[in-house]
Structure 1
Amino acid sequence: MSIIKTKSFGLAAIITLICAVAGVLLAKLPYVNLIGALVIALLLGIAMQLTPSKLQTEAKSGMGFISNKFLRLGIILLGFRLNLEALAQAGVKTILVAMIGVTGTICLTYWLSRKFGAEDELAILSACGCGICGAAAVMGVSPQIETTNEERKRENEVLAVAVVCVMGTVFTLVEIGLKPLLGLSNPQFGIVAGGSLHEIAHAVAAGGAFGETSLDNALIMKLSRVLLLAPVALIVGYWYQRRLVREKIEDHEQAQKKLPIPWFLGGFILTSILGTFLPFSAVFLDGLVQAAYIFLGMAMAALGISVNFKVIFKRGGAVFGAAVISSTCLLIYMILMSKLFF
């Protein structure tokens, strides 16, 4: 049995690694970079569903391991991107603006999604993706949501990622087009891009379109939102555990004893501290961040290979509608903040 599992993992690792590396390389191309490496890896994983069913069956058990463990490893390594000194230098106002924007967007997207008929888990995943940092936030928060239906959970993850990808890409183009009409300076536009766009790739693409100061501000504002991934995941985990106790959906004693602590997000914070205060070279840190995207890309590819998309297309309208409204509100909020405080 162990030989079979080893073979399955090896096959799954090869398939997902190809998708992840291809995603990183393709994301360097003009225009394609609007999508981002993680979403490209997901799309390539979806394309792998066209391969022979025998191949997919042999790799199936390995896919589960990769989508779970490699996801956590990627999130931990992603912490090396977060420079805490740069965030501190940007000032308290940047963090406060990010906190208000993230909190408001998550609450509004979740509330609207539920009003429009989306199920609870899908609503919270989409809300966190729109509010924090796109696909990485969806995959970072998802382990905090316990469920007995893993297939349904994968569908919700992919649909939430699709929402933030589409919204982020559309709003990237919208914001670049609106910039001359808004009367924003280049540094102010960077604040708007970093504070309102979902993926890091979206913020980089929009901010980089108007020079270095715009790009720098976009990254600082975006990373201020990324910093909130750990506390949001903790809050979501605690919230779901309390609901298990209150609603008695699962065993009452088990729900009480289990602590909703995402240890891999502790690793994310630790790597942020190490990357900020230890004398690592820029090349070394960049290599670690690239490794993070490889592991995350492998997890996304495994997700794409495993999911049932016929079901997803039937359930996407509610969260897409909610994301359009909340993303528009977030953009308006960031325009006002940039004019008032930056």
Structure 2
Amino acid sequence: MSENINLEVALEEAAAETTPLKRGFLKSLTEDWWALILGAIIISATVLFTINGGEIKLPVYKWSGSDELFNKILSINNILLVLETGVIFLALASIAIILSGGNIKKFVPGFAFIYLLVNVSFIIGGNKGIAYYGLEYVVFALLIGLILGNLVNIPAWLKEAVRSEFYIKTGLVILGTTILSSDLVSAGLPGIIQAIIVVTAVWFFSLWLSRKLKVDDEFGIILASAVSICGVSAAIVAAGAINGDKKKLSYVTTLVLLTAIPMMILQPWLIRVLHIPEIVGGAWLGGTLDTTASVAAAGAIVGPAAVKAGVIAKFSQNVFIGVAAFLIAIWWAYRKPKESAKEGAIQITAEKPSLKVVWERFPKFVLGFIAASLIFSFLLSPATVKSVSATLGSLRTVWFGMAFICIGMEAKFTDLVKLQGGRPAYTFIGAQVFNIFWTLLWSYLLFGGYIFPVPQF
């Protein structure tokens, strides 16, 4: 009997010793780690379920008329799929919130409300007429968030779920599955060379211009990445890599969306007026417009060859998201000054951090992004990658959609107008003008038959 009592006491003491450790470890996991973990769970579950013969059904949002809207999008079956998807996402997100010490009672209703708004933006963006002009759900999600954030006082239960960086980083881990080495190879040498020359030159020009206009480097890096690589996605990755200010990310996101619409209209018009060859024009669109959808929409106005050349050029640039995130994170960790207290004030020192400090500052979600890219490029069969790509793309879009709603909520129009006296906007516009002319030059040289034979599409 006494042996049993002693055993029970020993077990209780062991539990008392280990529980704080476990809880402390879980609470020590940062947002980056939770994004990596959730992204890995979603990717792994999707792959395993699919290769074992399962079929993952997701909601559909594309429609062209009132009949399809009510009989397809708002049908009972599709609404049930929307609810099922939302419940799964809520369950996954709740794990991270609970184990990291968040308020789950406030988070659940807040998450549900944001998820509802995301689906509204998906339905609006899914209209065939709207999609024809390249207007994606991103525009409407951001607008909905901006309206709420600027006209309504966000209640506490909703604020708990406004976690734009968490949603963004989870989506970016899944985005890694689409960045394949095979895409870079299939893009061909002209597309690869154009991507390297354009991304590098435009990025450094933009950062140089931001410094000339006295825009801080944190802002400058987000701006440079947005202009040079692929707009909103690149801005998000860059902001995550340096733990950038949410207001600055919101500002850049707004600038990207505001400039994308006139560019989609004016560039195809200029291609026709200036008699730019169709393939050259397509490569120009792919190197300057921010998303594959906008490139395809603008290219369709020019011609089918322009669409193919534009998508190839855009794919080549998209591959550089992961490379840029990794290099920016390393550079920023070494460059970022260290703050230390001295006589009640903050003293900035230029002390070079150790590898340990670099590791602590390095955004862990980037590791998930790179791992996903490598696994899908080299370890999984092309058939498997193809079978899960659409599903993972849809799941990623949900995370991104929620992030854009939250970015809008966090952005204040007054802050956007006052932020650094409008200099970031001048930087963005100046860098975009340079990008337009620089990319056109190299599109002519690489796709116009001056260096390589004209590609045949």
TM range (shorter): 0.7 to 0.9
Match for residue 63 of structure 1? 162
> Do the aligned residues in 1 keep the contact of 2:286 with 2:312 (CA within 8 Å)?
yes
Q: Quick check: 1:126–1:164 contact (8 Å CA) kept in 2?
A: no
How far residue 142 of structure 1 moved from its aligned partner, in angstroms, is 0.9
Of the two structures, which has the highest relative contact order with CA contacts closer than 8 Å and spacing of 6 or more?
Answer: 1
Confirm or deny: 8 A CA contact 2:180 2:376 kept in the other structure: yes
CA distance in 2, matches of 1:251, 1:193: 42
Cross-structure match for 2:138: 38
TM-superposed CA distance for 1:88, in Å, is 0.3
Q: Which residue of 2 aligns with 1:257?
A: 356
Q: Which amino acid in structure 2 is aligned with residue 159 of structure 1? A: Y
Spell out the pairing of 1:294-305 with structure 2 (5 A cutoff). 294-305=398-409
* Higher Cα radius of gyration: 2
Supply the AA of the counterpart residue of 1:332: F
Supply the distance in 2 between the matched residues of 1:107 and 1:251 (Cα, whole angstroms): 23
| Structure 2 CA distance for partners of 1:163 and 1:46, relative to 1, 3 Å | same
Look up the match of 2:369.
268
Partner of residue 210, structure 2: 113
Corresponding residue number in structure 1 for 2:147: 47
Q: How far apart in 2 are the matches of 1:180 and 1:313?
A: 36
Give the deviation of 1:326 after TM superposition: 1.8
SS of aligned partner of 2:290: coil
CA distance in 2, matches of 1:28, 1:77: 22
Stretches of structure 2 that go unaligned for 5 or more consecutive residues are: 1-96, 341-347, 448-457
Question: Do the aligned partners of 1:121 and 1:145 also contact (CA within 8 Å) in 2?
Answer: yes
Distance in structure 2 (CA, Å) of the matches to 1:102 and 1:209: 25
The aligned counterpart of 2:103 is 5
Cα distance in 2, alignment partners of residues 184 and 117 from structure 1 = 37
Match of 1:86 in 2: 183
Is 298-307 or 240-249 further displaced after alignment? 240-249
- SS of the residue 1:279 aligns to: helix
Is 1:310 aligned to 2:414, yes or no?
A: yes
Of stretches 254-263 and 177-186 in structure 1, the one that deviates more from structure 2 is: 254-263
Matched, 1:330 2:422: no
How far apart, CA to CA, are the structure 1 residues paired with 2:121 and 2:184? 28
* 1:131-152 CA-partner distances (Å, limit 9, x unpaired): 11111111111122246xxxxx
One of 120, 142, 161 as aligned partner of 1:22: 120
Amino acid at match of 1:24: F
1:224: Cα distance to partner? Answer: 1.1
Equivalent positions of 1:77-226 (< 5 A) are: 77-146=174-243, 153-226=245-318
1:131-187: CA deviations, max 9, x gaps?
A: 11111111111122246xxxxx11101001112222222222220110113333332
Using the alignment, how far apart are the partners of 1:265 and 1:211 within structure 2?
37
Shift of 1:116: 2.1
Structure 1 280/26 Cα, relative in aligned 2: closer, same or farther at 3 Å?
farther
SS at match of 1:16: helix
Name the CA distance, whole Å, in 2 between partners of 1:239 and 1:4. Answer: 32
Q: TM-score, with normalisation over the residues of structure 2?
A: 0.66
Give the secondary-structure state (helix, strand or coil) at the position aligned to 1:198: coil
Q: Tell me if the contact between 2:338 and 2:350 (Cα under 8 Å) persists in the aligned partners.
A: no
Q: AA paired with 1:172?
A: M
Corresponding residue for residue 285 of structure 1: 389
Conserved 8 A contact 1:39-1:135? no
Query: Residue by residue, what CA displacement relative to the aligned partner does 1:246-280 show, whole Å, maximum 9, x if unpaired?
Result: 78747968765222544323333443455554313
Contact kept? 1:16, 1:297, Cα under 8 Å: no
Which structure features the higher share of helix residues?
Answer: 1
- Describe the superposition over 1:23-69 as per-residue Cα deviations: whole angstroms up to 9, x where unpaired: 3332334346534322321221122236753x5322212213xx122
In 1: Cα distance, 2:174 partner to 2:199 partner = 23
C-alpha separation in 1, matches of 2:412 and 2:349: 26
Distance 2:333 2:351 in 1: 10
The aligned counterpart of 2:426 is 321
Question: How far apart, in 1, do the equivalents of 2:416 and 2:272 lie?
Answer: 38
Question: How many residues are paired up?
Answer: 334
Q: Which amino acid in structure 1 is aligned with residue 106 of structure 2?
A: S
C-alpha RMSD over aligned residues = 2.8
Per the alignment, residue 150 of structure 1 pairs with none
Report the CA distance between 1:194 and its aligned residue.
0.7
Farther off after superposition, 209-218 or 244-253: 244-253
Instruction: Identify the range of structure 1 (112-121 vs 249-258) with the bigger mean alpha-carbon deviation.
Output: 249-258
- State whether residues 286 and 311 of structure 2, in contact with CA within 8 Å, keep that contact through their aligned partners in structure 1: yes
Q: Report how far residue 282 of structure 1 moved.
A: 4.8
Distance in 1 (CA, whole Å) between partners of 2:220 and 2:367 is 25
Identity rate, percent: 22
Whichever residue aligns with residue 140 of structure 2, its letter is I
Task: Report the CA distance shift for 1:311/1:255 in structure 2 as closer, same or farther (over 3 A).
Answer: farther
The residue aligned with 1:234 is 326
Distance 2:130 2:434 in 1: 26
